[in-house]
Structure 1
Amino acid sequence: MNKKELKDVKVNGKKVLVRVDFNVPMKDGQVTNDNRITAAIPTIKYLLDHQAKVILFSHLGKVKTVDDLKKCDMAPVAKVLEQKLGQPVKFVNSFEGKELEDAINQMHEQDVILFQNTRFADIIDGNGQISVDNNGAATAKRESKNNPTLGKYWASLGDIFVNDAFGTAHRAHASNVGIASNISESCLGFLVEKEVKMLSQGVDHPVKPFVAIIGGAKVSDKIGVIEHLLTKVDKILIGGGMAYTFFAAQGYKIGNSLLEADKIDIAKEFLAKANGKIILPVDGLEAPEFADVPAKVTDSPEIDDGYMGLDIGPQTIDLFEKELFGAKTVAWNGPMGVFEFRNYSVGTKAICAAIAKLTDAFTLIGGGDSAAAAIQLGYQDKFTHISTGGGASLEYLEGKTLPGIEAVQNK
């Protein structure tokens, strides 16, 4: 991808607008995990080292009702960022208007501003009024629907736009596409630059053998991924709840396991055109309820009546380990079971361990639940790359264009 990168632009003395991904988990007004803030530090530090005026903005949470204006306030994020940078960060409690404009106009080189949640523009209209329907739901949608006036306005606040928010790259919002389309110079920040390079290396230019591992709950979430990867991989290992729709397509009994009955025909089509590339589990762990209760091991893909499959079994772990052996590229998206339950985290942990043993391979996790599982299970340093964007990486794995990146200028 031939997009301008941060080192391609001259930022000295310029007002640099940086779309970051500070959509961090919060509890009682406090940030509970600051990984996404940490991930943005290299880009911010580079700008400060090169005498830029740094204007940061992000969404936080889903702003759907008036109550969310309080829950999704960015002020606590500014305090964490200040600690990490070791210098003052001015928080501006607005996302448009005189207060923000004055703060930007008064900036000196190496100053940092973080302004209020971009998604507040989904519930506050262009006149500064709350905009909701009869049920109290936000109707302005200026950020999420890429309102052209808002995109132009935000672009007018700076000289250069840096997109460093991979987590929203699959969305055409005012704060990424809107700004990039209305500013004279734009580029990718270090975080997005790395994401694009890693995903491209793993998916578009893989060294063979290339093995993909697809899990998670639903076939419907992964149709595009399977379709795209079947043209590229040597094998696709399928686990998670989605496997039971494939089993149903083969005529197996699946008990009370997760089933998308309307996707059985698609599962049959995939199996027919895969020519043996799709590898399904050969056993599983089942339980009588969706709970962290002791597991019962099945001796085949079939699930007993009154039970549901919640993880892959020991024979499948052995099979998947053999299929992974010798792989030079591995892309993984979606856990093998309900990894949040200790009794049903075994399969996902085993896959983590098997991939970690591939010392001579390019190993990629495509964000989302599989990334959360790898991190939670202590394998975050055992992969070549763990994507920071669940939805964005999933769409990349599907072969889709990411509008937030596409809108940035070419070199």
Structure 2
Amino acid sequence: MPVELIVPEVGESITEVEIGQWLKAEGEAVGKDDTLCEIETDKVTLELPAPADGVITKLLKKQGDRANVGDVIGYLEEGAEASASNGAEAKADDKPDAKPDTETPEQDTASDDDKPAKATSVMPAAQVLLEKHNLHAEAIRATGPGGKLLKQDVLKHLEQQGEDAPAKPEKQPEPKTDDTPEQQPARPAAVAAPEPVTDTAIVASPTPVTPGDMEEVVPMTPLRRRVAQHLKNAQNTAALLTTFNEVDMTAVMDLRKQYKEGFEKKHNVKLGFMSFFVKAAIDALRQFPAVNAEIRGTDIVYKNHYDIGIAVSAPKGLVVPVLRHAERMSFAEVEKGIGDFVDRIKTNQLRIEEMQGGTFTITNGGIFGSLISTPIVNAPQSAILGMHAIQQRPVAVDGKVEIRPMMYLALTYDHRLIDGREAVTFLVRLKETLEDPARMLIEA
């Protein structure tokens, strides 16, 4: 009896998903818990495992299709591995070895390589060309891994169609010498010219260039669409303003250098910069609670807990997992929590609830080399801290010019709730704490 492949529950309030890449094709044997396809939501990408051993008998949705939670997107025949291979052999035997007499010699001698291989999925760039030239994927041989139809497959098909076109100017009878290439524009090879030129006047035209050669149109993933909508809504709703400062990272770098080996041996995790910034941010948020608050209707909601979101750049878009009650965490727990988020983002194992309910966000553009930027708040939060690259710069220290490792900090905040004085003094406190980390211990 066929087993239904059903879109699972993916999180509260999410009712629709987009089918991502199918990793298994119709007729392919799978084992229980093998990943069949990717399911994309507006927050995370999940994997759909096989519910049992068997063979994929039917796929009802292709890559890019929308589906609701609970929809059946395919069928699996449980324990049908042997019968699937036999069925494939039977289909092969059903094909006649001899061609009917009415077929041409060219059809009789056609090799298997010339016959179209059925595409199990169509890549975005190939889909654009199919729609542009009104072609069907079934008519084109797919050479990509797993039966994927590639852009090159469609281009090759179009090129072959052009070569097979009957209109060749040089083969037309009664050539004339009246039209020169300057007088008559070059025509596409597939369109017959009413007055062809002589062989001596033929000039080889360059290969036609289609827009698909210079552009590739790829649909936005649900995650990318959600990020775009979320950030734009924040700009449209909040009165955003950014204030800047810079911090001398000498003290933090000296501490890391002094304790990093012992820290890693004891906790089995590296001591990074982010744990210092999380701890320093919590220290500053305690002194300036409006930065940790949010506007809810006509009310201001002050939070007495510190759930710090850490912006992480994932392959399909930006995600912000949240360290719950970060004020209770040690430096090692912060580093382990962030490392766990990064590892599970890479394998699509991050849960939706882990990205909800943050009170303040930290983003680090410095890992990509950013020197300064203006981040956008992660609504409904009221502020976001931007870290940047550490750069050796000359600064004045006790009346002398010294070269110090400096980092620009940026705080973007909702001016409806946070005044400029609070934003500036928040950054000043953050700067003081990072330049003298002992402040975090004695709360000075």
* TM-score, length basis structure 2: 0.25
Q: Which has the higher contact order (CA 8 A, sep 6+)?
A: 1
* TM-score, length basis structure 1: 0.27
Please identify the structure whose Cα radius of gyration is greater. Answer: 2
